[in-house]
């Protein structure tokens, strides 16, 4: 077993230098492949999307009930940080479709972890990044608006978009949030599919993911932009769009992994 793990580590080291030279429009092919997987047994993907929507709605409701509406926007953007972990069932569906393996609801709800608990270590890192981002967002608000109480969602929009201080805060928050999002994207976009698909450890998977993103930067920047655009559409629909968008992006991410990282 130890020899197998070491062999996988050597394979990951070689993999991390891979540059597939893919054109940036290849990202749209991944999206098309993701849609093909979505429409193959669509009930499974829709069930998964409804579950993600329900989880999101319960989280938002709990935040309002606890009086935490002041961190709603950072929490919504933080969802992009932990999203890859929540999507493991969609990776498994795409993997099984690719391999021609049996596929049912239990296969996407109870995904066999080929790397054991290593995926939970990555999940812990992503959760910590989300907590740090939300804390940073509170500090950014305090930096520009002082210690005044949060005015409520009905007043925050005009305050942010129609005052110079609000514009400055938006720019700062976008830059800081973008750094958090970029780092979390780099360490997880290939790491979590890899841990679903292969036997390796979390640190190797995250390091390999970062290296693959860097070595295939143009197409990965396009893929990141597509993910962001679809996420904004989901938010604009009151999160209802997550029913389709979340599993679609999960399936497409698997094909990004298969195109760049899979042996």
Confidence of residue 184 (pLDDT cuts 50, 70, 90): very high
Instruction: Confirm if 87 and 188 have CB atoms less than 8 A apart.
Output: no
Q: Is residue 18 part of a domain?
A: no
Give 250 or 111, the one with higher predicted confidence: 250
pLDDT per residue as tens digits for the range 79-110: 888 899 999 999 999 999 999 999 999 999 99
Please calculate the CA angle 224-73-81 and round it to the nearest 5 degrees. Answer: 35
pLDDT for residue 69: 74
Residues in the chain: 263
Confidence of residue 7 (pLDDT cuts 50, 70, 90): very low
Long-range contacts of 231-240 (CB under 8 A, 24+ apart): 231/79, 231/80, 235/76, 239/53, 239/56, 239/57, 239/60, 240/53
Contacts of 20 (CB under 8 A, 6+ apart): 216, 259, 260
- Alpha carbons 164 and 181: distance in angstroms, whole number: 25
pLDDT for residue 6: 45
- Alpha carbons 217 and 214: distance in angstroms, whole number: 5
42: which DSSP letter? H
Average pLDDT value for residue range 29-36: 97
Using a pLDDT cut of 90, give the percent of the chain over it. 58
Q: Is residue 68 part of a domain?
A: yes
Q: Is residue 7 part of a domain?
A: no
Confidence of residue 2 (pLDDT cuts 50, 70, 90): very low
Judged against a pLDDT cut of 80, whether residue 215 lies above it is answered with yes
Q: Which residue has the tokens 């700062």?
A: 172
Q: Is residue 3 part of a domain?
A: no
Among 262, 121, 250, 125, smallest CA distance to 183 is for 125
Q: What residues make up the domain containing 239?
A: 23-260
Q: Which of 102-116, 203-217, 220-234 has the lowest mean pLDDT?
A: 102-116
pLDDT for residue 11: 55
Contacts of 248 (CB under 8 A, 6+ apart): 31, 34, 35, 38, 45, 230
Average pLDDT value for residue range 55-75: 85
Q: Is residue 88 part of a domain?
A: yes
Q: Is residue 58 part of a domain?
A: yes
Q: Is residue 98 part of a domain?
A: yes
How many folded domains does the chain comprise?
Answer: 1
pLDDT per residue as tens digits for the range 147-166: 777 666 667 777 878 888 88
pLDDT for residue 263: 56
Average pLDDT, the chain: 87
Judged against a pLDDT cut of 70, whether residue 54 lies above it is answered with yes
Q: Is residue 221 part of a domain?
A: yes
Most confident segment among 69-78, 127-136, 143-152, 160-169: 127-136
Confidence of residue 208 (pLDDT cuts 50, 70, 90): very high
- Count Cβ neighbours within 10 Å for each residue of 162-177 and write b for 16 or more, e otherwise: eeeebeebeeebeeeb
pLDDT for residue 17: 58
Confidence of residue 28 (pLDDT cuts 50, 70, 90): very high
Backbone angle region of 111, left / alpha / beta, with phi > 0 → left and psi within -120 to 50 → alpha: beta
Q: What SS3 class is residue 162?
A: coil
> Residue 24: what are its φ and ψ, rounded to 5°?
-65, -25
């Amino acid at each position: 077993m130890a020899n197998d793990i070491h062999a996988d580590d050597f394979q990951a080291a070689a993999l991390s230098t891979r540059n597939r030279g893919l054109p940036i429009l290849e990202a749209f092919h991944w999206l098309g492949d993701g849609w093909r997987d979505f429409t193959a047994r669509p009930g499974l993907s829709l069930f998964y999307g409804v579950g993600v929507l329900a989880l999101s709605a319960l989280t938002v409701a709990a935040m309002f009930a606890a009086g935490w509406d002041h961190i709603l926007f950072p929490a919504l953007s933080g969802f992009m940080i932990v999203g890859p972990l929540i999507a493991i069932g969609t990776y498994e569906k795409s993997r099984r479709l690719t391999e021609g393996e049996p596929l049912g609801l239990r296969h996407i709800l109870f995904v066999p972890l080929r790397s054991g608990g290593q995926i939970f270590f990555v999940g812990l890192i992503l959760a910590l990044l989300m907590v740090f981002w939300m804390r940073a967002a509170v500090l950014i608000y305090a930096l520009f608006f002082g210690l005044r109480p949060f005015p409520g969602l009905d007043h925050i929009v005009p305050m942010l978009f129609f005052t110079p201080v609000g514009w400055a805060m938006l720019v700062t928050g976008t830059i800081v949030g973008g750094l958090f999002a970029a780092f979390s994207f780099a360490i997880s976009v290939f790491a979590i599919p890899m841990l679903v698909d292969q036997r390796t450890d979390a640190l190797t998977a995250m390091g390999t993911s970062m290296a693959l993103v860097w070595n295939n930067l143009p197409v990965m920047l396009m893929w990141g932009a597509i993910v962001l655009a679809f996420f904004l559409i989901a938010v604009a629909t009151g999160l209802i769009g997550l029913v389709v968008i979340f599993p679609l992006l999960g399936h497409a991410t698997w094909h990004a992994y298969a195109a760049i990282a899979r042996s």
